[in-house]
Amino acid sequence: MKKMHVISFCIACLFIVNQAAAHALWIATKPTGKSGKAQQVHIYYGEPAEGVLENVTDWWSDVGSFVLTLHHPDGSSQQLETSAQADHHVATFTPTKEGVYTLSVAQPVKETFDGHKYQFNSTAFVNVGNADEPTLPETSDFRVISGLFDTKAGKPISLKAQLGAKPLNKLEVTVFSPNGWSKTFHTDESGLISFVPDRKGHYLVEALYSVDVDGADHKHLHRIATWSIKID
């Protein structure tokens, strides 16, 4: 009986590690919008390396309790209501003026494992009109982002990894392509990486930032940030 308890515990530990290490949460929406027209936003959770989307009933721990925040061009922000579908959550908002709207999620997972805690982060921009560059909200969030709104196959895409306003050097960033390949890059001193998409489709960019902390129930914090790109 004791052996069975040990086996069950090991299986549970492996499940938690797999959920944290292989999974990610990401926001997907069109990079451009129109004033007065509703913009649809999808939030997914799954395994980027396998191209697998988890049904919302199978999302790990309290990941499904995430808060989706919309930051307006004038600096104000609001929480968007989401509704659960089969394998994603959906939200909508209607831009009222031109500028760049920022969508963000920073969801700490309630469940910890052996002193390790995980947080899922994602960011997306929606350009309404002809704004040049997005103005990021002042938060301490971990992000991987791109300022490009017009993305084409064969054209380089630059992305930046940062914690708050601080760029992160020598950070691993992985790009997952629509046909199954993935490639890992390391950021430079400005927190930048660059890659060239070789085909149309959906690309997902993922970065992991880990730090030791002095938490009540954890000593290590792992933040996973994503950026979704649709190549036309």
Quick one: tokens of 130?
């002809």
Res. 19 pLDDT band, cuts 50 70 90? very low
pLDDT in tens, 45-54: 999 988 899 9
The CATH number of residue 114's host domain is: 2.60.40.10
pLDDT in tens, 69-103: 999 999 999 999 999 999 999 999 999 999 999 99
pLDDT value of residue 143: 96
Question: Considering only CA atoms, which of 162, 156, 145 is closest in space to residue 100?
Answer: 145
Q: What percent of the chain has pLDDT over 90?
A: 77
pLDDT value of residue 147: 83
pLDDT value of residue 136: 81
Domain count, the chain: 1
Q: Which domain holds residue 216?
A: 2-231
Res. 157 pLDDT band, cuts 50 70 90? very high
Mean pLDDT is lowest, of 55-59, 131-135, 150-154, 215-219, for: 131-135
Task: Provide the 3-class DSSP secondary structure of residue 126.
Answer: strand
In this prediction, residues 154-174 reach a mean pLDDT of: 96
DSSP 113: B
Burial 125-141 (b: 16+ CB within 10 A, else e): bbbbeebeebebeeeeb
Q: Name the phi and psi angles at 22, rounded to 5.
A: -100, -15
Res. 186 pLDDT band, cuts 50 70 90? very high
In this prediction, residues 215-225 reach a mean pLDDT of: 91
Q: What is the pTM of this model?
A: 0.89
